[in-house]
Amino acid sequence: MTHRALHYTPINLGRWLVWTSFALILLIAPRVFASGSGLSILSQMGTMMIFALSYNMLLGQGGMLSFGHAVYSGLGAFFAIHAINLAGGGVLPIPLSLVPLVGGVAGMFFGMLFGYVTTKRSGTTFSMISLGIVELVFACSLMFPGFFGGEGGVAGNRVIGQPLFGISYGPQIQVYYLIAFWLFVSTVGMFAIAHTPLGRIANAVRDNPERVEFIGYNTQRVRYLMLILSAFFAGISGALSAINFEIVSAENVSALRSGAVLLFTFIGGIGFFFGPLLGAIVGVFLTVLLSEFTKAWQLYLGVFFILIVMYAPGGLASLIMMNLRIALYGRFRRILPSLLAITAASLLAFAGVVILIEMLYHLTLESANGTTMSLFGREVDTAVPSQWIVGVLALVFGAVAFRLSLRPFSAVWGEVNAEIEQLVLKAAK
Amino acid sequence: MEFTLISLLNGLSYGLLLFMLSSGLTLIFSMMGVLNFAHASFYMVGAYLGYAISTTLGFWPALVIAPLVVGLIGAMIERYGLRTVHKYGHIPELLFTFGLSYVIVELIQVLWGRAAVPYKIPAVLDGPLFTLYTTAFPMYRGFMMLVALVMLAAIYLLLTRSRIGLVIQASLTHPDAVEALGHNVPRVFMLVFGGGCALAGLAGVIGGNAFVTEPAMAATVGSIIFVVVVVGGMGSLAGALLASILIGLLQTFAVALDWSLQSMLSHFGTQVAIDAPYYRIFSITLAELAPIMPYLLLVLILIFRPKGLLGKREG
């Protein structure tokens, strides 16, 4: 096998294309979803994307599973809202566009403080300590109502100072563009950090800390530095959410919020840089939109997460990339029939599960409002057994069909992937 | 004196309950390397099952049946869920149990509603056990301590004196050798996981009516038992016992004391003015600090003794 020399290519066309189209999507998105709720959801997705990307700096790149990442974004948000209030009162001369930096620096400061303790250990112990820290900060936030505002939180008004070029940050669309700008800058920043020597050695620490120690690096310092940088971006996202909602409460530093970012990031996929972006979209979609339709959304989120952990540990991003690879090698047509069959079977089983869960929720939690409910636009009576049988039948048939189609699917899937591996090996030779 | 003794007893009983939870967690962790994030959820399942069974069959059958059912559920989850994830490594296993904790809370709410359920102490055990000076010590607290101690002795005997205990101990350190000797190590893992969950379930049955049986109970106790496991030293049963009792005592004593920096200063004849900056820091009392005591202890332990009180290795 011969070694191919690496060439320095300052102008990487593919990369320029990807980043330009990312910027274009950010610019155009509010034109497509122009309604008030559309803009609000886009703004939430933007902040969640920064948060999830910063989380993935720990989990995906550094191998640190944190249960307490909301500490940094939440404390950043508190500092940002106080900065906004001070600026509004004329005490602090700072424009709103730069308030995210205040949040970022605050997040970074607490990253330095708490990270010193948490990064002393790695693996599962790190996870547990991060959970301890988030509980500590959450309990403290209720203990010092002067700074944290107690149960009600701290409110602010983001319209401060004179409008510049007609931008007052009053309308939601202007806030969206502020978030989009910081999202773009932070994404570029995090992508760049992933490719610095620090980012690379962080990957090595994730994969084999022992060997990294042997080549003379201090693994704890690598984890510590990654955590500080990640806390900086988390702080930015917290500040943006403070600007977006104009209120910050103890919930922002809770274990619940930390758990949410973990769920979203993992669902999106921790193995690819863009995975957390997908995860943020799906996560905000599930929490904001789905929670309006069904009371059981947390159950769906939990089950969806477990299924991803069990059957697609690379997340949605890896599912897309695996299918894309097959399509690139022109073999998508071969897996298509079995892929369609298995998708149809899963959808049928899923529909059955949804029917059963919705009826169960209605029966136990809302039985006071009568036994009828509307499901998929149809009136359903939870007291009638036949309705339950529909759900059970859909589930059983779907599950059986899934079992039957699983074997042919995995056979052709393995076959196609083995062929591609062969081609890749041949090309390398 | 009276306050010290009563607080000591209350702290001991709370600490022993924490140990019932953390012992299962530690056993599972030291054996399989899996940190069971859903462990406190099994505690909650135990409490709800205990409530459901005690309303139909009575408390004593619930004390036996509920832990067994929880153990069975745990074993099934190990067999059909965790074992699939095992090949990806420890972090996905932790994530799996993390997702599980979400699902269990939701299922509990579907079955028993979002409010607390009226899970009562059985009439036989309701009442004072003895009176110390003027304060009565509840009989149920004594019963909790008794159950925890019996359980502690049973685990100790099972692990050191029985054949299955020896196989478990051997699979801890040398799984391949044990497998070569013809033991089914995955089944041993399943047993340990189920057993650990059953211990959590037992703690739920006797803890659920001593405290409140509600959907939030897993979250409140969950992070504390993780603190116990880290403070005691990962994978050390004796360390878990020590840390549980330490945290139990710490919290019970702190909750009853309204000492603050302000009151300490007033001993020396000075005071901090109410309008002084940082007055809040001086006025905060130990009782208010009680909820964060375990986490402060965790931070201190990590700074001064990173392997935990009785831990053997740093990881």
DSSP code string of B214-276: STTHHHHHHHHHHHHHHHH-TT-HHHHHHHHHHHHHHHHHHHT---BHHHHHHHTT----TTS
B residues 18..37 contacting A (CB < 8 A): 29, 33, 35
pLDDT at residue B197, rounded to an integer: 93
- Mean pLDDT, residues A254-283 taken together: 89
A-chain residues near B111 (CB < 8 A): 364
Q: Which residue has the higher pLDDT, B234 or A344?
A: A344
Q: How far apart are CA A48 and CA A54, in angstroms?
A: 10
Mean pLDDT of chain A: 85
Least confident of A314-328, A407-421, B122-136, B170-184: B122-136
What sections of A269-384 are H helices per DSSP?
A: 275-284, 291-293, 297-311, 315-328, 332-365
Identify the closest residue of chain B to A206 by CA–CA distance.
Answer: B91
Neighbours of B60 (CB within 10 A): 12
Identify the closest residue of chain A to B302 by CA–CA distance.
Answer: A117
Backbone angles phi, psi at B130, to 5 degrees: -155, 165
Q: How far apart are CA B9 and CA B143, in angstroms?
A: 12
Write the ipTM: 0.84
Q: Which residue has the higher pLDDT, B262 or A361?
A: A361
- Mean pLDDT, residues A403-414 taken together: 84
In angstroms, what separates the C-alpha of B178 from chain A's closest C-alpha? 26
H or E stretch covering B128: strand B128-132
Q: Does A124 touch chain B (CB under 8 A)?
A: yes
Q: Does B299 touch chain A (CB under 8 A)?
A: yes
Distances (CA, A) of A68 to A10, A221, A251, A359, B132: 38, 19, 12, 35, 43
pLDDT at residue B315, rounded to an integer: 43
- Mean pLDDT, residues A200-221 taken together: 90
Q: How far apart are CA B192 and CA B156, in angstroms?
A: 14
Identify the closest residue of chain A to B102 by CA–CA distance.
Answer: A302
Q: What is the value of pTM for the model shown?
A: 0.86
In angstroms, what separates the C-alpha of A136 from chain B's closest C-alpha? 6
Q: What digits encode the pLDDT tens for the residues B82-122? A: 888 888 878 888 889 999 998 999 889 888 888 888 888 88
In angstroms, what separates the C-alpha of B161 from chain A's closest C-alpha? 31
pLDDT band per the 50, 70, 90 thresholds, residue A1: very low
In this complex, do A135 and B223 lie within 8 Å of one another by their Cβ atoms? yes
pLDDT at residue B185, rounded to an integer: 85
Among the partner residues B85, B99, B106, nearest to A305 by beta-carbon distance: B99
User: What 3-state class would DSSP assign to B210?
Assistant: coil
Least confident of A296-300, A369-373, A387-391, B210-214: A369-373
Q: Which residue has the higher pLDDT, A230 or A376?
A: A230
Backbone angles phi, psi at A79, to 5 degrees: -65, -35
In this complex, do A132 and B295 lie within 8 Å of one another by their Cβ atoms? yes
Q: Does A90 touch chain B (CB under 8 A)?
A: no
In this complex, do B295 and A259 lie within 8 Å of one another by their Cβ atoms? no
Highest mean pLDDT among A7-21, A43-57, A333-347, A371-385: A43-57
Regions in chain B scoring below 70 on pLDDT: 271-282, 313-315
In this complex, do A143 and B288 lie within 8 Å of one another by their Cβ atoms? yes
Backbone angles phi, psi at A142, to 5 degrees: -80, -15
